[in-house]
Amino acid sequence: MRLGRLSFAAVLVVHLAAFGLAAAQAPDDQPWLKPYDGPSRSDVDATTLDGKVLCGYQGWFNTPCDGSGFGFVHWGEGLERPDEGRFTIDMWPDVSEYAAEDLCEVPGLRMPDGSPARLYSGFSKGPTLVHTRWMREYGLDGVFLSRFVGEAANPDRARHVNRVLANVREGCHREGRVWAMMLDLSTGRRGDAKMVMDDWKFLCDRVKIREDSRYLHHRGKPVVLLWGLGFKDRPWSVEQAKELIAFFRDDPKYGGVYLIGGVDAHWRTLRGDSRKDADWAEVYRSFDAISPWDAGRYHDDASMDRIRREVWEPDLAELKAAGKGYIPTAFAGFSWDNLQRKSPGTTVIPRRGGAFYWRQFATFRDLGVRTAFVGMFDEVDEGTAIYKLADTLPVGRHFLGAEGLPADHYLRLTGEAARMIRGETPLSWTMPADPSPRGRGAGSGR
């Protein structure tokens, strides 16, 4: 199954075509890009990847109420017209803790009690601060902030992605979490290495992320996850890949990073969705660490065990011998029926009440994995989100419910998994019957 981000590039290209690509820039009306100087705490150690469970964070949602001018981007298409348009999400967020001013009514859509259905925007700071508060409350260490470089290169859309960055940075400071950049190369066929390098230069020069005390470092180097090289449905060449890796590693001003490759799960054998050219083997082994994209590669216990034998175990053996890191992906489940215009239930990988998710972490702990990536914190588009999800759903549209579980079930489960990965609790193949209550793990990761 070729799921998740492998086909998301096509969706992003549509948005980029509408916005038009241009050189990366930051208009003077983006004061939030100055270095953060507000309240801060340091609960989670920002000097190491070791013992961390880090969530991918999209923050890509808009509403017509946020002032950005993008409508309901990433929630759906044409939703501004009552009873029209279509949703591109498969799960509905629990919005009960967001401030009223951060929510926007979806015209014509009602909840079962007759109240209007409301959604939040990532452009607004409030929802992100709620998210980072949840991370502290449930013991999640922090985030890899997903930054699509094609969007960052567009002066209109860059305003949104830069605002999300500022929101995440402030939230991590206020709640003592860590953050690092995940530069996503899903740019369609209009991207090039210069676009990526220019964006990193902008982040270093204007945002000064390397000097941010909550920005994640490892082995004394700022961490960057470069996602998307080597996938066969992306146009990046071996030459471009080598140029980018050399830049992040060796550039006298902007290099010296700890570079993680977000690559296909079959990077080592050049199978699956990896490009087959033998030169890619050298590219993959040029990274400091590998983070394989595992979402959709297994759907039950048997297929997960097969991935363990064929992928995770030999990957770890090779990388450990080479002194390199390994950060596998855990995902709670999957569904993109609405995004792909499929019949309800067609694309679902069942969550099984969290048992599917927990077994991945138990396997990682059994293998000695010390850092895990959660894909994703907030991606309701593909049904992988682990933040608070609603089980009471809008009337008349197809969404997956939360299986009758509490809204915070997956946050609790992720916090427990993080403690197991760090060795604070023993390995258990059985999912906790009652994951930890709110408030535990507030100082995790130290």
Tens digit of each residue's pLDDT (9 = 90 or more) over 157-194: 999 999 999 999 999 999 999 999 999 998 766 779 99
pLDDT digit string (tens) for 315-327? 999 999 999 999 9
Chain-wide mean pLDDT for the chain?
A: 91
163 found inside a domain = yes
Q: Are strands 142-148 and 178-184 parallel, antiparallel or unpaired?
A: parallel
Q: How far is CA 49 from CA 84, 128, 133, 209, 428, in A?
A: 46, 23, 21, 17, 23
Of 390, 436, 429, 442, whose CA–CA distance to 412 is shortest? 436
**pTM of the entire predicted model:** 0.92
Q: How many domains does the chain have?
A: 1
Inside any domain, residue 436 = no
- Asked whether residue 142 is domain-assigned, the answer is yes
| 432 domain-assigned | no
Confidence of residue 377 (pLDDT cuts 50, 70, 90): very high
**Confidence band for 141, pLDDT divided at 50, 70 and 90:** very high
CB of 144 within 8 A of CB of 182?
Answer: yes
CATH number, domain of 320, equals: 3.20.20.80
Does any domain span residue 433?
no
Report which of 433, 397, 384 is spatially closest to residue 412, judged by C-alpha positions: 433
Residues spanned by the domain of 171: 5-422
User: In Å, how far are 94, 161, 184, 355, 410 from 352, measured between CA atoms?
Assistant: 20, 34, 30, 5, 12
Q: Where are the strands (E) in 26-173, listed by range?
A: 52-57, 76-77, 86-87, 103-110, 116-120, 142-148
